Amino acid sequence: MAEFDKTEDKKVQEVLIKKAELMKNRGNRSLCANFGMVAVLGVIMTAPLVIGILVGNWLDKDFAVKGFSWRLNLMIIGFFMGLYYAYRWIKYEGIEKIDEAYRKEHEGIEK
C-alpha cells in the first residue's frame, strides 16, 4: 500500500483554497475593472488586424502582384496574431493580475 505525503496534500489544499478565493473575488470586481479588461482585449486583437490591412493596402498599391492580394493575406495573418496576443495576455498578465490587485487592495481595507 502506498503512503501519502501529508506535505503534498497540504500544498494542494492551499492552492485549491487560493483558487477558490480568487474565483469568489471575481464577482466583486468593479465595472471599470471589467470594462478595462474588455477594452484591452479589444485593442490587443484589433491592432494587428488593422496594421495588416494598412500595410497590405500599401503593398497592393506599390508592389502589386497579379493574382495575389497583400491586403487579404496580411489581414488573415493579423487576425491570427491578434488571437495569439489575446491568449497570451489572458494567460500570463490579465485576469490573475487584476484579481491579485483587487485582493491586495481589499486586504488593506479589512485589516
Distances (CA, A) of 42 to 30, 35, 106: 19, 10, 28
C-alpha cell at 9: 496534500
Q: Give the residue-averaged pLDDT of 72-79.
A: 96
* Residues 36/31/27/105 CA torsion (nearest 10 deg): 80
Tell if the pTM clears 0.75, that is, is over it. Answer: no
Q: Give the residue-averaged pLDDT of 29-37.
A: 75
What local confidence, expressed as pLDDT, does residue 54 receive? Answer: 97
Q: Are 81 and 55 in contact (CB under 8 A)?
A: no
What local confidence, expressed as pLDDT, does residue 53 receive? Answer: 96
95-110 and 31-62 are packed helices; what angle lies between their axes, rounded to 10 degrees? 150
Q: Give the residue-averaged pLDDT of 59-69.
A: 91
